[in-house]
């Protein structure tokens, strides 16, 4: 068992590594040639120009102003300066509310830590149980609940504290839910007109032999919403086209690379091979080859567009229907249209950037089956993922390699390589799996058929949390694979499970403290350094970039990554709630994590991340629900733990807690969740009235006409496809779109650009 | 253990008693003086006149037509003759769909029985396991799964059959759900105009210092539904008034009784005592006393009405808001009105008869707390109800009586009385509790705050089913009180619970067969005889009835009683599904129950029961859900049972069944349940258009104006309260209501007439 001194050393080490990251960051960020790596958000918003265009030559690349090196922690107050309202304007509501998850962690745990340290630590420490038991123990154990003798009435302090913590957490949760709800409603009703305020996504349009999808949709809504219907846009199945465009872009990159190479070294024309990865096949002149390839693809793209244009089958049975008023859209989105609730499904259209196009065409029964398949697969993934990995590990052992690739035998039998491989190989399969896990979960969500990227990420986040909960948290507490755990759960009585886990909890405190420092502190400091984007940017910059536009494309702003970030925070909340009463000394470490990450992510959101979509904080009910789940779990664990401490008379007091907590959850669900699903009519009506008074002649139809065009038709800048756009707008007068504002519209999200591919995620 | 012969005897005995009930019924129903007991529905609909008004004197009371005695089973084909569409017209959709629950039982179990008897019985019977074990066993056991040796491959027959039964049941459930859904939608969209098609119930109207509730509601909906709002009706808190009216009615009954007594025996004027139950207190002239009392009450009622009229506090913060079109109402009912989802709550108004008035004023937080309290109480009621009963039983023992009432000691010490009491007393507390249980559950539902009687009954039915499931089904299988069972469940691993119950299942087959015959067969035959209403009617007829109108009031048609009837059927479905594979010989007994009850209840619905409300089959999702639950439970039990039979390799095959069944449930929920919650806009629009074309000048406002008046203002026939009705109609032109059709409008439901009182249920 680790002593306090050990933990001190570990903390010092991790603090040091975090400090080194921060220093490196402070140094790198003020170098002009890294400007696009550390401030991409400002470039994307068009508010910053490259500092490399001005000043002396050296000053273009290296910061020569030595004063700026002294203020290397400047970014911290800067990150806190921007007020919340500006931040919403700058980075969207999602980002701001995401930051509130860290805030909620602080709000919950600052008072909890204070109370726990001042009350529970003395209560625990002034016992001599561990000494009297004559077992080896550490200082940490002496501060924990383990130090209290069986049947002691001191346990009442812990029970009272658990009540206090529960009520405080519920209070904070309630307040936050109320705040986020009102922020969301304010945002939705904000001054700015947005296409999704007027638009409803209609899915599962039934087939009709006489009418096209577009006509059918138009007639249906003209009949059933006669006073409010404005216009509709059908959805084209452009998945093939998107793939071709993607391929063309790649080839274009290669062409750029070779052209740049040639321009730098005019004597030899670069060559390439036509086969796999440019490694095999015929040797050809690279520039000529890629020019020809791009021409071919351009032709194919034109053909594909023609096909989509002509073929009625390329229209999927879904449409974006727009209404004259927000009221009309709110009514349509919230009501059922026909007897059969599996056709003409209506719901709020996601924001244009947020639409996940490939999933718009899935019929109802199919969706239902997909959900079943994914649920079952996820169960197996969570509990049995070790089985294929163990299999791969056995293959990847030295003997396995020797057998399957005998020619490698002489190499792997060298002593040095052998020992490296033996230490390295068994872990690599697991490590690879864990790296790809978010991608696998995202694929599962995509297969399940959600139509918005935000929904995909929310679902992935839930799954990732469950996976972490089972395999990281429970897996660390009860040693053994998830599969063995499952066996334990199935074959123990329900109350015994909580006893088993509850008893193991205090013993794992030091492990989790170390883990918080490595994964939390150092991990977050690594995030701000952006090592991978830094390297990638400079590689691209060297090999591909010819123009300023290329340089813009070379930037990889990244995004918050809700699907992996939020589950991580939740794991810390869970640890905090579980250990608050049991081993309170863990709490300060969590506080440092929350405060530090808040700082770092606020900085990143202001300066780095590109907002992929705007869901108006639609994820908050999930965040709330997971904290509630963690609370209930911690209460049950405490019950299990105390039941072994001969404090059985406390059980009735503890059993009320999960019931009250679950009731509180239900109450909040009823009180706030509707605001995250629907849009109240009063708000819609107010906004409509205001707008009609202020801007009575606005051409709404023109504004909405091309809001929901598949991004592949929009982004294809090189071939401005008049034909396509003309077809889409054929039945209306087109209002001139302001190309000047193009810069301000955020880049399309990476997920919706192309069909789902594994490596693309 | 009972042998086949024992069961034969029991079956014969129960069949005989059922036959005796049926013969008695056949004899009694054709006597003219019982006409109002056995055909009240026809009187209520105004389609039948008393046969006692015509013919010879004796013929008025006794049926002298001997041919009619020969056709004593005539009612059976008669009950089946009325086609379903006529039955909907005659008794409402709820009744017709209620009968479909029996039909679904037949549809599921006829093929299941056939398959089980032809396949599983031979598979079971051709073994000699029980003989070789040299244990005592009965023929029943020989036909059951117990007769198959451990690890035999014959178990595959049972697994395949379980699959077949599951798929067949799901198929039937799907078909029925589809049929009931389309019946409901057809009914809702039917020709007939109904107030609830245009009306939305608004709850939790926020308080406003400047406006009355009525004004506030009007302004809110004029602003937010400007094109559709028609009118509104506020809800008066008339609970006190209803109580007074009820009291007056009782006094009137006594007055009638004494007047009748005096008119028969003119020499002495009847007297009564003013104290408790007329047993204590001053002796007074009965007729004068009651005349005075009624006068006093009439005055109090007038005052109370005046008070309601004047006092703004007598208006509760809820209102019935009517719209110009069904479309408008559908939109308002299905959308959220304001930011705060706990105020301005809108939902479809229940049918006027269905409204449960006392609950309309409960605010949201209050509701949420009530729900928590009731959930916890119901848990304790289910698992710990034996504790107070055991306590009462100990009090009600002979010693207890001797102690608390020493003067009774000489009586109870007589040998005969002692032995009777000893046999009788311990059971009486339990019996009384079980008789009052539905009333207790109904009180709980009322406290929970549902605003429709149909919702109250649905909730009570759910609870009654759970109670029966735990205490009747599980209580019979695992001997021991529910509290002891709870202990077992909490302290066994989840898989062991199903093993424990599953192993006990085959041993209890004979018990359940006997139970089906006593509770099912004889119970249903008793239902048709209507012994209690028969006696009550003749008593009232003799003591109270003066006029034909009094006689009409003396009829007690009763109602289906969804809250107790449906859980009973579900228990039979559960038994059938559990035993289908285990002891198939039980199935024919269940088939007889379903067929016989269908016949009896169809007869009763046609001739007897008064429809209390019309919820348009809103209960079907509950029925469907409970059958699914029973299926999953039976699958888990079979898994538990087979795991002890060393047929472990079958587990993976069986585990797929509950997963598939639950998925099927989710699928059905998505496919059909919306139709039970909401009303599709297309239907509303179609109906609106049709009506506008057919009847363009209909005064809808007048039609709806008084649809939702508290029944106490409507029924008070004696004092036609012009003042009240004038106040309610003050702001509109009143259309003459057709008093002639009054007879056709069903009597108001017994539950909504008066405030909630224990004995009133």
Q: Give B140-160 pLDDT, tens digit per residue.
A: 777 777 777 777 778 888 888
pLDDT value at residue B402: 67
Give the tokens for residue A540. Answer: 């691209």
pLDDT digits (tens, 9 = 90+) for B592-632: 999 989 988 888 888 888 877 888 888 999 999 999 999 99
Contact call for A493 and B495, based on CB within 8 A: no
Residue A338 is nearest to which of B337, B342, B680, comparing CB atoms?
B680
pLDDT digits (tens, 9 = 90+) for A222-252: 888 888 888 888 888 777 788 888 888 888 8
pLDDT value at residue A761: 30
Lowest-confidence range among A533-537, A728-732, B265-269, B757-761?
B757-761
- Which tops the pLDDT comparison, B426 or B41? B41
Residues 6 or more apart whose CB falls under 8 angstroms from that of A30 comprise A63, A68, A69, A72
pLDDT value at residue A110: 94
Q: Is the pLDDT of residue A625 over 90?
A: yes
Q: What mean pLDDT is predicted for residues A119-126? A: 82
DSSP codes of every residue in A315-360: EEEEEEEEESSHHHHHHHHHS--SSSTTSSEEEEPPPGGGB-GGGT
| Of the candidates B334, B326, B228, B322, the residue with the CA atom closest to the CA atom of residue B707 | B322
Residue B681 is nearest to which of A335, A371, A671, comparing CB atoms?
A335
What's the per-residue H, E or C state across A500-527?
HHHHHCHHHHHHHHHHHHHHHHHHHHHH
Top residue of A379, A497, A500, A667 to mutate, by most chain B CBs within 10 Å, is: A667
Residues 6 or more apart whose CB falls under 8 angstroms from that of A166 comprise A631, A635, A657, A660, A661
Residue A341 is nearest to which of B666, B671, B681, comparing CB atoms?
B671
Q: What mean pLDDT is predicted for residues A438-466? A: 90
Q: How far is A458 from chain B (nearest CA, A)?
A: 21
Q: What mean pLDDT is predicted for residues A190-194? A: 73
* DSSP classification of residue B282: -
Lowest-confidence range among A605-619, B37-51, B662-676?
B37-51
Contact call for B335 and A675, based on CB within 8 A: no
pTM of the model: 0.80
Q: What is the mean pLDDT of chain B?
A: 78
The CB density around residue B468, as the number of other CB atoms within 10 Å, is 20
Q: What mean pLDDT is predicted for residues A707-716? A: 72
Q: What mean pLDDT is predicted for residues B222-251? A: 82
The C-alpha angle B134, B140, B141, rounded to 5 degrees, equals 40
pLDDT value at residue A163: 92
Q: Give B-chain residues touching A682 at CB under 8 angstroms.
A: 223-224, 337-339, 344
Q: Which H or E run contains B283?
A: strand B283-285
Q: Is the pLDDT of residue B117 over 80?
A: yes
Q: How far is B354 from chain A (nearest CA, A)?
A: 24
Residue B680 is nearest to which of A185, A337, A368, comparing CB atoms?
A337
Confidence band of A404 (pLDDT split at 50, 70, 90): low
Assess contact for B322 and B704: CB atoms under 8 A: yes
Q: How far is B494 from chain A (nearest CA, A)?
A: 6
Top residue of B187, B331, B688 to mutate, by most chain A CBs within 10 Å, is: B331
Residue A682 is nearest to which of B224, B365, B682, comparing CB atoms?
B224
Give CA–CA dist A347/A356, Å, rounded.
15
Task: Report the number of secondary-structure helices (H) and strands (E) in chain B.
Answer: 38, 6
Q: Give A-chain residues touching B335 at CB under 8 angstroms.
A: 330-331, 334-335, 678, 680-681
Residue A490 is nearest to which of B227, B493, B680, comparing CB atoms?
B493
pLDDT digits (tens, 9 = 90+) for B165-177: 999 999 999 999 9
Q: Is the pLDDT of residue A310 over 60?
A: yes
Residue where the block lists tokens 């209460």: A635
Q: Is the pLDDT of residue B751 over 60?
A: no
Q: What mean pLDDT is predicted for residues B182-200? A: 80
A493 lies within 8 A of chain B by CB:
yes
Residue where the block lists tokens 């492990």: A511
Q: Is the pLDDT of residue A124 over 90?
A: no
pLDDT value at residue B725: 43
- Burial class of B438 by CB neighbour count within 10 A (0 to 12, 13 to 18, 19+): buried
Q: Give A-chain residues touching B494 at CB under 8 angstroms.
A: 490, 494
pLDDT value at residue A621: 93
* Contacting B residues, span 2-61, partner chain A, CB-CB under 8 Å: none
Lowest-confidence range among A186-190, A714-718, B213-217, B408-412?
A714-718
Q: Give B-chain residues touching A672 at CB under 8 angstroms.
A: 341
Which of the listed ranges A261-275, A301-315, A707-721 does the model predict with the highest average pLDDT?
A: A301-315
pLDDT value at residue B750: 43
Give CA–CA dist A205/A216, Å, rounded.
8
Assess contact for A741 and A422: CB atoms under 8 A: no
Top residue of B334, B335, B679 to mutate, by most chain A CBs within 10 Å, is: B335
pLDDT value at residue B112: 93
Q: Give B-chain residues touching A493 at CB under 8 angstroms.
A: 490-493, 496
Contact call for B182 and A339, based on CB within 8 A: yes
Q: Is the pLDDT of residue B193 over 80?
A: no
pLDDT value at residue B424: 63
- Chain B residue with minimum CA distance to A189: B339
- Chain B residue with minimum CA distance to A327: B224
Residue A342 is nearest to which of B182, B330, B671, comparing CB atoms?
B671
Residue A495 is nearest to which of B371, B490, B681, comparing CB atoms?
B490
Q: What mean pLDDT is predicted for residues A381-394? A: 76
Question: Considering chain B, what percentage of its residues have pLDDT values greater than 90?
Answer: 13
Question: Considering chain A, what percentage of its residues have pLDDT values greater than 90?
Answer: 13
B174 lies within 8 A of chain A by CB:
no
Confidence band of B412 (pLDDT split at 50, 70, 90): low
Q: Is the pLDDT of residue A80 over 60?
A: yes
Lowest-confidence range among A509-518, A565-574, B334-343?
B334-343
pLDDT value at residue B103: 92
Confidence band of A405 (pLDDT split at 50, 70, 90): low
B227 lies within 8 A of chain A by CB:
yes
A681 lies within 8 A of chain B by CB:
yes
A732 lies within 8 A of chain B by CB:
no
A494 lies within 8 A of chain B by CB:
yes
Size of interface A-B (CB pairs under 8 A): 126
A652 lies within 8 A of chain B by CB:
no
Q: What is the mean pLDDT of chain A?
A: 78
pLDDT value at residue A292: 84
Give CA–CA dist A341/A333, Å, rounded.
13
- Which tops the pLDDT comparison, A313 or A618? A618
pLDDT value at residue A210: 81
Q: Is the pLDDT of residue A142 over 60?
A: yes
- Chain B residue with minimum CA distance to A488: B493
- Burial class of B505 by CB neighbour count within 10 A (0 to 12, 13 to 18, 19+): buried
Q: What mean pLDDT is predicted for residues A402-419? A: 69
Q: What mean pLDDT is predicted for residues B508-535? A: 81
- Chain A residue with minimum CA distance to B666: A368
- Which tops the pLDDT comparison, B542 or B399? B542
Assess contact for A701 and A732: CB atoms under 8 A: yes
pLDDT value at residue B452: 87
Confidence band of A62 (pLDDT split at 50, 70, 90): low
pLDDT value at residue B736: 35
Q: How far is A359 from chain B (nearest CA, A)?
A: 19
- Which tops the pLDDT comparison, B302 or B466? B466
Q: Give A-chain residues touching B672 at CB under 8 angstroms.
A: 341
Q: How far is A686 from chain B (nearest CA, A)?
A: 8
Q: Give B-chain residues touching A182 at CB under 8 angstroms.
A: 339
The CB density around residue A431, as the number of other CB atoms within 10 Å, is 12
pLDDT digits (tens, 9 = 90+) for B625-654: 999 999 999 999 888 888 887 766 667 788
- Chain A residue with minimum CA distance to B665: A368
Contact call for B339 and A680, based on CB within 8 A: yes
pLDDT digits (tens, 9 = 90+) for A507-539: 888 888 888 888 888 888 888 877 777 787 778
DSSP codes of every residue in A552-608: HHH-------HHHHHHHHHHHHHHHHHHHHH-GGGHHHHHHHHHHHHHHHHHHHHHT
Q: Is the ipTM of this complex over 0.90?
A: no
Q: Is the pLDDT of residue B742 over 70?
A: no
Q: Give B-chain residues touching A377 at CB under 8 angstroms.
A: none
pLDDT value at residue A24: 82
- Region label for B547, one of left (φ > 0), alpha (ψ between -120 and 50) or beta (otherwise): beta
pLDDT digits (tens, 9 = 90+) for B574-584: 999 999 988 88
């Amino acid at each position: 068992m680790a002593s306090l001194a050990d933990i001190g050393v570990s903390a010092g080490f991790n603090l040091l590594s975090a400090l080194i990251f921060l220093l490196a960051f402070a140094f790198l960020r003020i170098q002009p040639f890294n400007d696009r790596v550390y401030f991409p958000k400002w470039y994307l918003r068009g508010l910053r120009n490259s500092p490399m265009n001005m000043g002396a030559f050296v000053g273009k690349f290296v910061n020569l102003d030595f004063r700026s090196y002294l203020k290397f922690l400047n970014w911290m107050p800067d990150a806190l300066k921007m007020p919340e309202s500006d931040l919403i304007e700058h980075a969207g509501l999602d980002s701001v509310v995401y930051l509130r998850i860290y805030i909620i962690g602080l709000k919950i745990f600052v008072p909890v830590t204070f109370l726990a340290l001042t009350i529970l630590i003395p209560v625990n420490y002034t016992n001599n149980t561990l000494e009297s038991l004559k077992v080896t123990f550490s200082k940490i154990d002496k501060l924990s609940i383990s130090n209290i003798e069986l049947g002691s009435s001191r346990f009442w302090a812990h029970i009272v504290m658990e009540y206090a913590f529960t009520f405080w957490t519920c209070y904070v949760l309630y307040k936050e839910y109320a705040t986020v709800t009102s922020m969301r409603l304010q945002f939705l009703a904000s001054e700015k007109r947005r296409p999704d305020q007027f638009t409803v996504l209609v899915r599962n349009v039934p087939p009709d032999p006489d009418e096209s999808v577009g006509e059918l949709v138009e007639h249906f809504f003209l009949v059933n919403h006669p006073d409010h219907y404005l216009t509709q846009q059908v959805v084209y199945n452009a998945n093939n086209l998107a793939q071709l465009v993607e391929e063309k872009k790649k080839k274009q990159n290669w062409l750029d690379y070779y052209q740049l190479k040639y321009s730098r070294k005019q004597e030899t024309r670069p060559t390439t091979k036509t086969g796999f990865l440019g490694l095999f096949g015929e040797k050809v002149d690279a520039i000529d080859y890629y020019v020809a390839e791009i021409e071919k693809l351009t032709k194919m793209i034109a053909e594909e567009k023609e096909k989509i244009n002509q073929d009625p089958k390329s229209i999927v049975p879904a449409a974006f229907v727009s209404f004259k008023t927000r009221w009309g859209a709110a009514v349509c989105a919230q009501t059922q249209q026909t007897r059969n609730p599996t056709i003409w499904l209506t719901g709020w259209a996601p924001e244009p950037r947020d639409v996940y196009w490939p999933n718009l065409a899935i019929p109802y029964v199919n969706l239902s089956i997909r959900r079943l398949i994914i649920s079952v697969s996820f169960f197996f993934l969570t509990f049995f993922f070790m089985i294929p990995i163990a299999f791969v590990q056995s293959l990847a052992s030295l003997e396995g390699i020797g057998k399957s690739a005998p020619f490698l035998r002489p190499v792997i039998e060298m002593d040095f390589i052998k020992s490296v491989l033996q230490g390295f190989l068994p872990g690599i399969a697991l490590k690879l799996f864990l790296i790809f896990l978010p991608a696998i979960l995202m694929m599962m969500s995509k297969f399940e058929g959600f139509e918005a990227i935000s929904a995909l990420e929310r679902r992935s986040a839930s799954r990732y949390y469950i996976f972490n909960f089972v395999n990281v948290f429970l897996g660390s507490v009860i040693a053994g694979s998830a599969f063995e755990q499952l066996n334990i759960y199935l074959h123990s009585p329900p109350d015994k499970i909580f006893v088993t886990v509850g008893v193991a909890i205090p013993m794992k405190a030091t492990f989790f403290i170390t883990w918080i420092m490595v994964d939390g502190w150092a991990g977050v400091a690594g995030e701000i350094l952006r090592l991978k984007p830094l390297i990638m940017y400079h590689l691209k910059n060297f090999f591909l970039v010819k123009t300023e536009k290329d340089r813009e494309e070379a930037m990889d702003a990244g995004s918050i990554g809700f699907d992996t970030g939020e589950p991580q925070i939740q794991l810390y909340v869970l640890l905090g709630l579980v250990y608050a009463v049991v081993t309170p000394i863990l709490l300060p470490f969590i506080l440092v994590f929350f405060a530090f990450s808040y700082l770092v992510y606020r900085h990143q959101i202001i300066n780095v991340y590109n907002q992929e979509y705007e869901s108006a904080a639609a994820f908050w009910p999930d965040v709330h629900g997971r904290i509630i789940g963690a609370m209930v779990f911690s209460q049950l664990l405490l019950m299990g733990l105390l039941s072994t401490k001969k404090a059985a008379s406390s059980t009735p007091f503890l059993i009320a807690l999960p019931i009250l907590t679950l009731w509180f959850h239900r109450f909040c669900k009823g009180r706030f969740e509707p605001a995250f699903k629907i849009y109240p009519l009063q708000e819609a009506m107010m906004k409509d009235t205001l707008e009609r008074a202020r801007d009575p002649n606005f051409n709404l139809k023109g504004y909405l006409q091309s809001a929901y065009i598949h991004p592949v038709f929009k982004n294809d800048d090189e071939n401005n496809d008049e034909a396509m756009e003309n077809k889409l707008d054929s039945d209306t007068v087109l209002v001139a779109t302001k190309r000047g504002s193009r810069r301000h519209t955020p880049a399309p999200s990476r997920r919706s650009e192309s069909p789902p591919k594994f490596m693309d995620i």
